Amino acid sequence: MFAGGYWGKILRVNLTNKTYAVEELPRETANQFLGGMGFAVHYLYKELTPGIDPLSPENKLAVFPGPFTGTNVPCSSRIAFAAKSPLTGALGVALSGGYFPAELKFAGFDGIIVEGKAEKPTYIFIQDGKVLFRNAQRMWGSTTSDCQVMIKHDLGDQNVRIACIGPAGEKLSHMACIINERRAAGRKGLGAVMGSKNLKAIVVRGNQQVPISNAEALKEARSTMAKAMKASPVLYPQFSKLGTAMVVDHLSAMGMLPMNNWSETGTAPVEENIGVAKQEELKVGKEHCHSCPVGCTQQLITRKGPRAGILGEPEYESFYSLGSTTGVSDVGEISASDRLCDELGLDTMSAGVCVGFAMELAQKGLLPKEQHEGLDLSFGNATTQYELIRRMALREPGLGELLTNGTRQAAKKLGGEAWKYAMHVKGLELPAYDVRGAMAHGLNYATSFTGADHNRGYAIQEIFSVPVPYPVDKDSIEGKGALTKWNQDIGTGTCDCATICAFMLTIAMPDTIVECTAAMATALTGVTFTADDVWRIGERVNNLAKAFNCREGFSRKEDTLPWRVMHEPLKAGLSKGGVISPEKLDTMLDEYYTVRGWDKTTSAPTKETLLALNLPEAARDLYGA
């Protein structure tokens, strides 16, 4: 049925009954959605009943690599974890790299759908087409690293690959993530979905070789990709050696690295304390994902203070969330906090933003002194940050319980003006780019179906001055609706569905990635994919995800930005004066909805748009027969 790229098999696991079944992957589904996030969105839309509690057994966890995963396509070991998000109530998708994605393909499956709830803590072991349900009682409560060690000993196999949760997921923190080795499917609280199912881990082991339809054609397409990667002035000379954290210096220079819960962006040169030069002092090595020649993950060891000896792998987003936005200015402390989040299974981005939020509320008198629990909630206090991470992950009474479900829920509990300083969209805390200095990047935060998510439509044109598809003025709102659609659809079709690491788009080959993806998909699968097909897949997936959210009650009013972003201009720096006012946002939204073919009042895709994208079920759900 499938000449290559796919096994044609989806594994469905029912934890309630401890049963599993192998289902056929329809050819039409593969052609329409390609893989990865596309498959996840497709299956969850079909199978989840609107209005379910994200932490109920009725929610499902979809786990899908792409057709490129497990092959020798560079940087293709990526996998999408998806479910209805407990943090946002919207469709939640998080992607992760490492070795787990490739191993799942080696085990003979194109994806997993986990449903139901185990009676007791359980992990599932998948090996070459078979599934075992194993007792995880003694792993329950363990950190993610210890969990992986225990499972390897339990199975007597040091080569299994494991995706697991830590205590935060077990405690159902809405910020809990899923960790495989040291890689995180970090955002939207998907670790809590696993915890709600009493599922400690998914373990895979395989020895099969992913089939390839036309090896010579794939070799030629790979050669084109490799040449583009080598020709990049950034990928190997800088990114491979410095990783995403190199962006600290760049965003600080732009005046767009958020500081002190977004209240002081641009007022000081952050790179002096946490930039590349300081990071290099603690660097001890780097790490690769399967099939990746780049190795962007940088390993830093904390060398002094109470957390000396801790090895961390902080990305740029963690230098923001656990550094600049909380005021912590010691690279070692940031790295240690990053590692603590990974061990406890807590999203570093949401966790850090919650800490910064609490610190500002304390500073403004909006968090009463009696609720500080003896902690010094001043910006820059690394000890307080470390302790708050622990309390949030373990859901301890008081501040831990208050913050563990994110800034939106915490602001609701506190009341008053706390909501003004809760930096989230749809409940998902903002990433590391102060979008008051980049209009399309801000529009993407507002419109992304997952909430504030830079990975859904990264505006490379504004952040790195990449002139693809054309150069833009980052401070102008003109044309940003069309640009945001372009960024979202290209990233979805190429990176999130194929799957390829998103840095191939943002850094290595933004002008050729669509054509290259089409060529490799054709060679791998034996089905002809054109560049237009890849674009269409990205557009189809984004529209179906939007339909999912509309079915859940989301409308135009959720496509918004935090109060601070819309009402407080940047105080200083190269982006001084930047603000995305409600008027600016409305103008960009109108254009975005128009180019997307969505209704400007409801923000829902029109019936005509859904039918044109071959999404008749979504058209029926939103508009009837």
- 418 and 544 assigned to the same domain: no
Domain membership flag for residue 126: yes
- 165 and 283 assigned to the same domain: no
- 55 and 143 assigned to the same domain: yes
Query: Helix 37-47 and helix 616-623: axis angle, to 10°?
Result: 40
- 453 and 416 assigned to the same domain: no
Q: What's the start-to-end Cα distance of the chain, in Å? A: 33
% of the chain residues with pLDDT over 70: 100
CATH of residue 276's domain is 1.10.569.10
Whole-angstrom distance, CA of residue 246 vs CA of residue 455: 17
Domain membership flag for residue 238: no
From the list 275, 306, 309, 282, the residue with the least C-alpha distance to 387 is 306
- 364 and 462 assigned to the same domain: no
- 451 and 599 assigned to the same domain: yes
Domain final residue pick, 180, 205, 230: 205
Burial of 568 (0-12, 13-18, 19+ CB in 10 A): middle
Cβ atoms of residues 207 and 214 within 8 Å: no
The pair of three-digit structure tokens given for residue 568, joined into one six-digit string: 């407080």
Cβ atoms of residues 207 and 108 within 8 Å: no
Cβ atoms of residues 498 and 68 within 8 Å: yes
Whole-angstrom distance, CA of residue 335 vs CA of residue 330: 9
Domain membership flag for residue 571: no
pLDDT digits (tens, 9 = 90+) for 222-255: 999 999 999 999 999 999 999 999 999 999 999 9
CA distances from 543 to 50, 457, 502 (A): 17, 14, 20
- 554 and 443 assigned to the same domain: yes
Whole-angstrom distance, CA of residue 355 vs CA of residue 386: 9
**Candidate from 116-125, 145-154, 232-241, 469-478 with smallest mean pLDDT:** 232-241
Query: Helix 348-364 and helix 407-414: axis angle, to 10°?
Result: 30
Could you tell me the strand order of the sheet in which 130-135 lies? 130-135, 122-127, 199-205, 161-164, 178-180, 183-185
pLDDT digits (tens, 9 = 90+) for 271-323: 999 999 999 999 999 999 999 999 999 999 999 999 999 999 999 999 999 99
CA distances from 328 to 323, 341, 386 (A): 5, 16, 11
Range of the structural domain that residue 159 is part of: 9-205
Domain membership flag for residue 223: no
pLDDT digits (tens, 9 = 90+) for 326-376: 999 999 999 999 999 999 999 999 999 999 999 999 999 999 999 999 999
Q: Say if residue 559's pLDDT is above 90.
A: yes
417 pLDDT band, cuts 50/70/90, is: very high
- 369 and 493 assigned to the same domain: no
Domain membership flag for residue 156: yes
% of the chain residues with pLDDT over 90: 98
Whole-angstrom distance, CA of residue 447 vs CA of residue 428: 12
Whole-angstrom distance, CA of residue 586 vs CA of residue 596: 15
- 277 and 312 assigned to the same domain: yes
- With H, G, I as helix, E, B as strand and everything else as coil, classify residue 434: coil
In 3-state terms the chain splits into helix, strand, coil percentages (rounded to 5) of 45, 15, 40
pLDDT digits (tens, 9 = 90+) for 22-35: 999 999 999 999 99
Domain final residue pick, 394, 423, 452: 423
Domain membership flag for residue 232: no
What pLDDT was estimated at residue 128?
81
pLDDT digits (tens, 9 = 90+) for 578-599: 999 999 999 999 999 999 999 9
Domain final residue pick, 177, 205, 233: 205
CATH of residue 528's domain is 1.10.599.10
Q: Say if residue 575's pLDDT is above 80.
A: yes
- With H, G, I as helix, E, B as strand and everything else as coil, classify residue 570: coil
Taking the alpha carbons of 338, 509, 235, 67 in that order, is the dihedral positive or negative?
positive
Domain membership flag for residue 218: no
CA 3 to chain CA centroid, Å, is 31
Whole-angstrom distance, CA of residue 302 vs CA of residue 36: 36
What pLDDT was estimated at residue 1?
73
**pTM for the full model?**
0.98
Q: What is the DSSP string of 356-417?
A: HHHHHHHHHT-S-GGGSTT----TT-HHHHHHHHHHHHHT-TTHHHHHTT-HHHHHHHH-TT
Domain count, the chain: 3
CATH of residue 182's domain is 3.60.9.10
Q: Quick count: other Cβ atoms within 10 Å of Cβ 406?
A: 28
The dihedral formed by the CA atoms of 140, 146, 152 and 155, expressed in degrees to the nearest 10: -20
Cβ atoms of residues 19 and 12 within 8 Å: no
pLDDT digits (tens, 9 = 90+) for 165-177: 999 999 999 999 9
User: What's the whole-number mean pLDDT along residues 392-403?
Assistant: 98
Domain membership flag for residue 612: yes
- 43 and 166 assigned to the same domain: yes
Q: Say if residue 625's pLDDT is above 80.
A: no
Q: Say if residue 571's pLDDT is above 80.
A: yes
pLDDT digits (tens, 9 = 90+) for 495-551: 999 999 998 988 889 999 999 999 999 999 999 999 999 999 999 999 999 999 999
Average pLDDT, the chain: 97
CA distances from 267 to 257, 338, 355, 558, 574 (A): 10, 25, 20, 30, 10
- 163 and 27 assigned to the same domain: yes
- With H, G, I as helix, E, B as strand and everything else as coil, classify residue 489: helix
What pLDDT was estimated at residue 189?
98
Helical H segments across 561-603, by residue range: 563-567, 582-596
- 547 and 590 assigned to the same domain: yes
Q: Which amino acid is at 161?
A: R
Give me the count of residues in the chain.
625
